[in-house]
Amino acid sequence: MAHKKLNLPSKTCPVCDRPFMWRKKWQRDWQHVKYCSERCKREAKLLQQRLSRQ
């Protein structure tokens, strides 16, 4: 019997501005999760590096 995932917390990714939902793998550190994916995490890091060079 499948269950519906209702009322899961969500956040908005600061890089792509898309909402993303809580995942079990983030269970321990949900309050520290900022990005929806590794790609967005890399993009944010690259953006910070570019801004610090200027």
- Convert the pLDDT of each residue in 13-45 to its tens digit: 999 999 999 999 999 999 999 999 999 999 999
Those residues whose C-beta lies under 8 Å from the C-beta of residue 13, and which sit 6 or more positions away, are: 19, 20, 34, 35, 36, 37, 40
* Residue 5 pLDDT level (bands cut at 50, 70, 90): confident
For residues 2-8, give the mean pLDDT. Answer: 78
pTM, entire model: 0.78
Reply yes or no on whether the pLDDT at 51 is more than 90. no
- The dihedral of CA 17, 39, 5, 33: what is its sign? negative
